[in-house]
Structure 1
Amino acid sequence: MKFKKFMAFGIPLIIAFLLFFPYKHVIAFSYQDQGELVAYLPLKSEKNFQIKYTHSIHLTDVLESYRLSDKQIEQTELAYNDFAVGMPSNAEGEEVFEEKDGTYFIKNMKRNFTYIDLRVGQVRANHRLVYDEKTYALADFIKPGTWVRISSESISLWEQLKGVKISGR
């Protein structure tokens, strides 16, 4: 009798736990207005990543560097080649401004966010995620023009099955 009860209630409970318990730490890309997972990149031990894109006005690459914690994203550095519209001309507070070989850097940034909103470029931006020495074009995994929210999350097996895993091809 106990075995039948276990089979009726225990096994489904274990399966539900395995399916819905959030255990895998990822960089999550969700629809900004719905919170539904669009794509994710599983994290290894490395907690740093970068977003690289082509600036729409001066058409040079911009590289934003970030570090992840449990539920925070800390911007640590910004690198760019042109002071045109939308780019800072100096550092703030304890940040450090440097120029090296024609590239401008703002280092020692400690700007914390719970998420970053981003519209995946349709024309020039060519947004790329750089992680663990690999570069992933976001348009390969997320429809260009989509407004996504980037966050540090733990996701379940069920969410992994529903979302698009970002990986090398």
Structure 2
Amino acid sequence: MKTNYKEKSIGRNFFLPLLFILLVFFLLIALIKINCLIIRDPFTNQYKKIYYVKKDDLIGIIYTHSVMRTQTSEWYKIQDGKLILKEERYRSQGAGLPVDLIYKFKHENGDFVLYDIDEPFENVIYRTGDVRANHRLKIGDKDEELFTDFSEPREALEFSAKKMSLLNYLWRRYHIER
């Protein structure tokens, strides 16, 4: 059976605009930069999790303090590729908890709060606690997630921030979740 010129033209007329649209789509997701929270093993650099973080989202690390056995939390924002410690909250004073008031302080809803800290970190390392500490991660208005959902008990986890392309984020997230 012979294909006539008109049939070839219809196929080409459909294929070229579709190819152009796909190219523009991939170019856009390669150029759009987003803030990401990266959690990885500090010894192997293996990615454990990666999250998209909106501009105004707070990132909370929430756990039970090992000595005082009360809830403690540290709250960060991502800015200029760094984690900025904004505030610390704790329920009691004692060993291992802040005593010097070099930051602003308030007592709010039963919590002691150090705020306007604004200390930048390239990365912070936590160890997954599952006996007492039960470390949890909270980003923005999303539900808390246990560290044990993506790591082993007592495993070291390095948290860092990075601005990356949407394409790179999607690629890494796909490979982590496989």
What TM-score, normalized by structure 1, do the two folds share? 0.76
Structure of higher CA gyration radius: 2
What TM-score, normalized by structure 2, do the two folds share? 0.72
SS for the counterpart of 2:148 is helix
Summarize the alignment of residues 1-169 of structure 1 with structure 2, pairs less than 5 Å apart.
23-92=33-102, 95-133=103-141, 134-153=143-162, 154=164, 156=168, 157-164=170-177
- Contact 2:64/2:135, CA 8 A, preserved across alignment: yes
> Where in structure 2 are there 5+ consecutive unaligned residues?
1-22
Identity level (%): 23
- Contact 1:90/1:106, CA 8 A, preserved across alignment: no
Aligned alpha-carbon RMSD (Å): 2.3
Shift of 1:125: 0.8
- The verdict on how the C-alpha distance between 1:100 and 1:47 changes in structure 2, with shifts beyond 3 A counting, is closer
SS for the counterpart of 1:105 is strand
- Contact 1:80/1:103, CA 8 A, preserved across alignment: yes
Instruction: Indicate the residue corresponding to 1:3 in structure 2.
Output: none
- Contact 1:47/1:69, CA 8 A, preserved across alignment: no
**Count of residues in correspondence between the two structures:** 146
- The verdict on how the C-alpha distance between 1:77 and 1:54 changes in structure 2, with shifts beyond 3 A counting, is same
Structure 1 segments of 4 or more deviating over 6 A?
A: none
Deviations 1:58-102 (A, max 9, x none): 11100111110131111011110111111011321xx21222343
Shift of 1:45: 4.1
Shift of 1:112: 0.8
- Contact 2:35/2:55, CA 8 A, preserved across alignment: no
> Where in structure 1 are there 5+ consecutive unaligned residues?
1-13
Letter in 1 for 2:157: V
The structure with the greater share of residues assigned to helix is 2
